[in-house]
Amino acid sequence: MEFMNLICLLVSLGMLFWLYIFDVKNSVTQFITFVIMLISNFGYFFLAISSNVEEAILAQKIAYVGGIFLPVFYFFLVLEICHVKLNRFAGSVLLLIQCVIFGIVCTIGRSGLYYKFTSIHTIDGVTYIDREYGPLHFLCPLTLVIYLLLSFAVAIYSLAKKKSVHRSGVLAMLIFASIAVCTYVVEKAMQLEYEIIPISFVVLTFGTLIPVYDSNIFTVYENTDIIKEQLNKIGFLTFDKKRAYRGCNDFMANIYPELLDYRLGQTIAGCSESLQSVIEQIEELERFYNDNFRRRHTQIQLKPFVLNGKCYAGTIHVVTNIFGVLKGYTIELRDDTEHYLALELKERYNEQLTNEVDAKTKRIRFIQQKTIMGIAQMVESRDLSTGDHIKRTSDVVRIFVKKLMDEDFGFEERFLEHVIRSAPMHDLGKIGVDDAVLRKQGRFTDEEYSIMKKHSEIGYHMVSEILSDVEEEDFVRVAENVAHYPHEKIDGTGYPIGLKGEEIPIEARIMALADVFDALVSKRCYKEAFSYDKAFGIIENEAGTHFDARLAGVFLRCRPQLEEYYNKCEK
């Protein structure tokens, strides 16, 4: 049992390190929850190796950190995953109650409030604590049940009312929490000799880590990157209410290197004229704030200025506490050189203005491509059977196209680039397919299959609407064909209109090979993944009937690269 407690402790420690290294949200609630689990497992381990009653009681108190605080922080974690905000005062009250209960726990060995009697016995070198429960022992299991019920209530409400909640992640958290509670109940009801709660903490850790990480990745990862990118383009300089220097970021230090010579809490004096002008404008904000007391987020715009050939503009913000009391000021500075140059170039340099317009157009196309990818990923998230189908088929097309280039198959490089860009759009039309059909677990009936086949037409019209007037005509045509005809077959038995042979656009014939191959080697709700031999055998056998024979031949020669890619996907 001592060895098992040590394993549980090491696993909890490993999970905490994993969260610390890979967490992209940096959530305090998440981190504290995992720390509590670790502390409790520490307590159970040290209880097992205790040599006297005093040590055992201390270890038991440490173990109770989880029993007392884990329920409330797990509840906070469910709120966070469900995007439900709890009033800060209410949260503080809940924590205070748990602190009071923990204070009662800490009376073990000194009073009979929680344990009337404690002693220890040892079996095979493992220490077990004997106790007789006191009148207030019921508080711990009571709060455990209360927070489990509250978590269920929040989850049911969120799943019913909120579309932004990750259903399987929330359900997984509740299931594992229920298992942990049941473990506790079983241990107490059966009066087991040994502690099994550490094992339940490990199970709870695994069950919590996966939905927490999944939620963080798919809801905040890209936004975090965007925020970091934008923060590197904005300078921040802070002062306390006495206008003493309280720090700046790297961007601001690059503008005013002299700031690096000041200590935190030091009043800035004898600085450059430009910095002094910025600081003096705080007085104007201070007067304005005093005239408008308790108006939070009060701010004024800085007067634009030029420094070292660059134009800067910004804002001075008041920093207050939760009661609206002034605590200091934050100066936000932006490099607006590009903006002012654009205004000047509009009047003087038509050629440079054209370049600026081109850059903006590229940005629009980038946003447009991200929008399409977002729609495609949203479609895929509705389709329970396909997994990362969009990403994999896009990568397969990229591998296939590289082979076509290497073998000089006669295609223009620009055309093949259009095909790669269009690959994520091949199933875009599924967004218009009813959930009852799209999310069905199992094979379609004839009627359902007819409904599903409409996604090709829907996808064609969507791509046409999204890309028209903002993309090159050649690319629009390729993208429309990739969305419209990837399910056509060389022998004319495909859909949506039964094209044959060369009637099928070549880009759709390329897409068909990638699409079908991924379906063959991937696990679906109605089948297991086929072996590579079987999948490539099907491609070879259906060359000339389902697939373009010449393209299929090139595709078969991509086997080493495709196997290497899919083997990496499985890891």
Q: Which of 27, 107, 97 is nearest to 69 (CA)?
A: 97
Instruction: Tell me what the mean pLDDT of segment 132-146 comes to.
Output: 85
The pLDDT of residue 465 is above 70: yes
Q: How far apart are CA 507 and CA 371, in angstroms?
A: 22
222: confidence class by pLDDT, cuts 50, 70, 90: very low
Give the pLDDT of residue 516.
92
* Class of 234-342 in CATH: alpha beta
Answer for the pair 66, 201: CB distance below 8 angstroms, yes or no. Answer: yes
Mean pLDDT of 233-256: 85
Pair 44, 85: CB distance under 8 Å: no
Which of 54-58, 97-101, 324-328, 420-424 is predicted most confidently? 97-101
Report the range of poorest mean pLDDT among 330-334, 339-343, 477-481. Answer: 339-343
- Residue-level pLDDT at 278: 82
Judge contact between 64 and 44, C-beta under 8 A.
no
* Other CB atoms within 10 Å distance of the CB of residue 56: 25
Query: For the domain bounded by 354-570, which CATH number is listed?
Result: 1.10.3210.10
- Tell me the pLDDT of the chain averaged across its residues: 79
**Which segments of 310-454 does DSSP mark as H helices, in order?**
337-348, 350-382, 389-406, 413-422, 435-438, 446-453
Rounded CA-CA distance 61/115 in Å is 11
In the chain, pLDDT over 90 holds for what percent of residues?
A: 15
Residue 378 CA to residue 27 CA, distance in Å, equals 25
d(CA 174, CA 176): 6
**Band (434; pLDDT cuts 50, 70, 90):** confident
pLDDT of residue 507: 93
Which of 292 and 495 is assigned the larger pLDDT?
495
Q: pLDDT, tens digit, for every residue of 489-519?
A: 999 999 999 999 999 999 999 999 999 999 8
Q: Which of 69, 30, 83 is nearest to 147 (CA)?
A: 69
Question: Where does 247-295 have alpha helices with state H?
Answer: 250-255, 273-291
Burial label, 458 (beta-carbon count in 10 A; 0-12, 13-18, 19+): middle
Query: Residue 559 belongs to what H/E stretch?
Result: helix 559-570
The answer to whether residue 277 scores a pLDDT higher than 90 is no
Predicted confidence band of residue 225 (pLDDT cuts 50, 70, 90): low
Q: Which of 50-59, 89-98, 163-172, 450-459 has the lowest mean pLDDT?
A: 163-172
48 vs 1: CA distance, rounded Å: 8
Q: What secondary structure does DSSP assign to 45-90, as a single string?
A: HHHHT--SHHHHHHHHHHHHHHHHHHHHHHHHHHHHHTT----HHH
In this structure, are residues 213 and 31 in contact, taking their beta carbons and an 8 Å threshold?
A: no
Mean pLDDT, residues 66-84 = 82
Six-digit token string for 45: 């381990």
Radius of gyration, alpha carbons of the chain: 32
pLDDT of residue 520: 92
Given 1.25.40, 3.40.190, 3.40.1620, 1.20.1070, which CATH number is that of 2-230? Answer: 1.20.1070
Consecutive H or E run containing 104:
helix 88-105
Residue 373 predicted with pLDDT over 50: yes
Q: Please check the confidence at residue 295 and state whether its pLDDT lies above 60.
A: no
Does the pLDDT value for residue 120 go beyond 80?
A: no
Check for a shared fold between 2-230 and 234-342.
Answer: no
CA distance 223 to 196: 41
Out of 57-71, 114-128, 318-332, 477-491, the most confident range is 477-491
C-alpha torsion sign, points 526, 529, 530, 535 = positive
> Is 221's pLDDT higher than 50?
no
Every domain of the chain and the residues it spans? 2-230, 234-342, 354-570
Query: Can you spell out the DSSP letters for 150-206?
Result: HHHHHHHHHHHH-TTS-HHHHHHHHHHHHHHHHHHHHHHHHT-SS--HHHHHHHHHH
Per-residue model confidence (pLDDT) at position 34? 78
| Lowest mean pLDDT, pick from 290-294, 386-390, 430-434, 533-537 | 290-294
Q: What confidence tens digit (pLDDT) does each residue in 263-274 have?
A: 888 888 888 888
Q: How far apart are CA 422 and CA 414, in angstroms?
A: 12
pLDDT in tens, 184-219: 666 666 655 556 666 666 666 666 666 666 665 555
Phi-psi region of 194 (alpha: psi -120 to 50; beta: other; left: phi over 0): beta
**pLDDT on residue 194:** 54
For residue range 2-52, what is the model confidence (pLDDT) as tens digits?
A: 556 667 667 667 766 666 666 555 567 777 877 887 888 787 778 778 888
31 vs 377, higher pLDDT: 31
Q: Give the pLDDT of residue 198.
A: 62
